[in-house]
């Protein structure tokens, strides 16, 4: 087995035994990136020198018998919206193309404390807004299974680099499905933790009440290990849950006795691809063979999930992205050109005797704000800012935003009721396998419906995971979606491991 093919847990075993060094492992990943990322486009930046220097330091500590972290010497990729001191953090946007944070996010610090080797920053939909990674202003990412298809989004780069075996571990973020949907499209494991399980300090926010950082890997064991390394209370994040962090890596291989699985009847209707449904039902049959009891349940307010999400998320985005105006943060337009254009407009209005037009003219500061944001943000980000600003405006707040918050509460109550009779809720991660690049870019609603089964976990704040569960006749991965009560990530990981042990879907890799 080549080093790049090994899982994180396998690499740790080899590193601890002295069979390989971290420098060798890191170099193997960097070579793999250099060989294949030109076709995939998963990375925005590869940090070769820093990665090899960190790997050498881990090797030195291991040889000297010094205490090592949980991920000592294992290469990791990071989605490019986690602030990393001294390294550009772009959110795949022209607005932050040259932004270099003066500090690191808590998750980055935890990775450093765990002695992980960060090899690069991955591509994403701009400001995490999208479901295909086609909204990146800095380049497109392609699906390693078929480069004519999208990898999903917004964590498309994070999922693609795993599927292409460039790294064993990758960090994504999930606001409405942005870890789980690309995990499904790329045939890897992606877990959205409970809201508050992982610190959001240093995460460049999209929608603060929905965003969550989470692990992506190729196996359940690796996902458990990675979640353990990044979890924990953080006093710098007021939404961080002040609860003990379980040792996920120690319990992941323990089977769940008497597992009760809930199948949501609303998830198996119109819009679900036939091959996806077949794979999901076959996966449920595997659990039944292992002794699980299947219970039909209903989540009646799930049908309002997309509408609720696309009111709340853009509203929060409108507020969060207001800071990027060219003065406080972000891209600033060419002021000399802007002032020349403004002066030319003023002279034209004066020559025409248009006094009203002159009074309505922008001040230089307002023009600078407007032009900087127009140049810095892409079409999807602008669309969501405008939608959010509208729903928060006077006269519409009660009719839209306040009503969406009430429906959000009903969605959470549906889950609370369901979890009284089942341990996990199982269904498809996405309504279809990976789709062709460009096929949905001009149809925002079709793109939004990619999150049909995933957004409600974010609205309710509960953990959810996508694991590979099959392949279509066209050779594309299918994801199985599992949800559990708040703070029950251990239950999801153990259920994922049970399935993984009985099947080989997680071991399938694309031919590059």
> Known catalytic residues?
79, 154, 178
What is each CA distance from 510 to 25, 140, 162, 180, 426, in whole angstroms?
A: 21, 19, 11, 19, 26
CA angle, corner 223, sides to 176 and 41, nearest 5?
Answer: 65
The count of other CB atoms within 10 Å of the CB of residue 472 is 17
What is each CA distance from 341 to 254, 325, 347, 349, 410, in whole angstroms?
A: 68, 19, 10, 12, 52
Structure tokens at 377: 């943000």
- Among candidates 266, 147, 245, which has minimal Cα distance to 196? 245
Residue 410 contacts residue 164 (beta carbons within 8 Å) = no
What are the beta bridge partners of residue 117?
A: 75
Residue 231 contacts residue 242 (beta carbons within 8 Å) = no
DSSP output for 342-367 = HHHHHHHHHHTT-HHHHHHPPPHHHH
Structure tokens at 82: 């986690």
Q: How far apart are CA 166 and CA 182, in angstroms?
A: 16
The HSE-up count of residue 110 (CA atoms within 13 Å, CB side) is 24
The count of other CB atoms within 10 Å of the CB of residue 62 is 18
Structure tokens at 489: 């990530």
Burial of 289 (0-12, 13-18, 19+ CB in 10 A): exposed
Residue 124 contacts residue 136 (beta carbons within 8 Å) = yes
Residue 202 contacts residue 82 (beta carbons within 8 Å) = yes
Residue 228 contacts residue 248 (beta carbons within 8 Å) = yes
Structure tokens at 499: 């399935």
My answer on whether omega of the bond before 154 falls inside 30° of 0, hence cis, is yes
């Amino acid at each position: 087995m080549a080093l790049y093919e090994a899982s994180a847990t396998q690499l740790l075993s080899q590193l601890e035994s002295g069979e390989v060094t971290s420098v060798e492992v890191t170099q193997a990943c960097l070579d793999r990136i250099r060989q294949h990322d030109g076709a995939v486009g998963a990375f925005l930046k590869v940090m070769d020198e820093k990665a090899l220097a960190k790997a050498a330091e881990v090797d030195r500590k291991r040889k000297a018998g010094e205490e090592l972290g949980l991920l000592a010497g294992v290469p990791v990729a990071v989605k490019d919206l986690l602030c990393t001191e001294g390294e550009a953090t772009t959110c795949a946007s022209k607005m932050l193309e040259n932004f270099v944070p003066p500090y690191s996010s808590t998750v980055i610090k935890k990775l450093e404390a765990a002695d992980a080797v960060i090899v690069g920053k991955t591509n994403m939909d701009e400001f995490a807004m999208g479901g295909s990674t086609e909204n990146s202003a800095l380049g497109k990412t392609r699906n390693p299974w078929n480069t004519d298809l999208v990898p999903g989004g917004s964590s498309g780069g994070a999922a693609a680099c795993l599927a292409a075996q460039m790294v064993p571990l990758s960090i994504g973020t999930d606001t409405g499905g942005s870890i789980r949907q690309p995990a499904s499209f790329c045939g890897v494991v992606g877990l959205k933790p409970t809201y508050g399980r992982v610190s959001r300090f240093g995460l460049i926010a999209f929608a603060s009440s929905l965003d969550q950082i989470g692990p992506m890997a190729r196996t359940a064991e690796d996902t458990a290990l990675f979640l353990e390394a990044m979890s924990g209370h953080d006093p710098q994040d007021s939404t961080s849950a002040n609860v003990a962090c379980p040792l996920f890596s120690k319990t992941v291989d323990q089977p769940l006795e008497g597992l009760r699985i809930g199948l949501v009847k609303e998830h198996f209707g119109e819009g679900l691809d036939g091959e996806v449904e077949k794979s999901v039902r076959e996966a449920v049959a595997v659990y039944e063979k292992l002794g699980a009891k299947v219970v039909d349940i209903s989540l009646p307010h799930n049908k309002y999930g997309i509408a609720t999400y696309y009111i709340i998320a853009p509203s929060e985005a409108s507020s969060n992205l207001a800071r990027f105006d060219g003065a406080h943060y972000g891209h600033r337009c060419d002021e000399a050109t802007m002032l020349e254009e403004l002066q030319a407009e003023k002279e034209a209005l004066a020559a025409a005797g248009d006094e009203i037009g002159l009074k309505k003219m922008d001040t230089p500061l307002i023009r600078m704000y407007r032009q900087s944001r127009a140049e810095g943000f892409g079409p999807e980000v602008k669309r969501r800012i405008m939608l959010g600003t509208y729903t928060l405006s006077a006269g519409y707040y009660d009719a839209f935003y306040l009503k969406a918050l009430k429906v959000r509460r009903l969605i959470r109550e549906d889950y609370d009721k369901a979890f009284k009779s089942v341990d996990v809720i199982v269904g498809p991660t996405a309504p279809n396998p990976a789709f062709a690049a460009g096929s949905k870019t001009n149809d925002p609603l079709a793109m939004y419906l990619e999150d049909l089964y995933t957004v409600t976990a974010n609205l309710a704040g509960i953990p959810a995971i996508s694991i590979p569960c099959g392949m279509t006749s066209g050779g594309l991965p299918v994801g199985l979606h599992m949800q559990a009560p708040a703070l029950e990530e251990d239950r999801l990981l153990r259920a994922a491991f049970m399935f993984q042990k009985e099947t080989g879907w997680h071991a399938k890799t694309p031919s590059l």
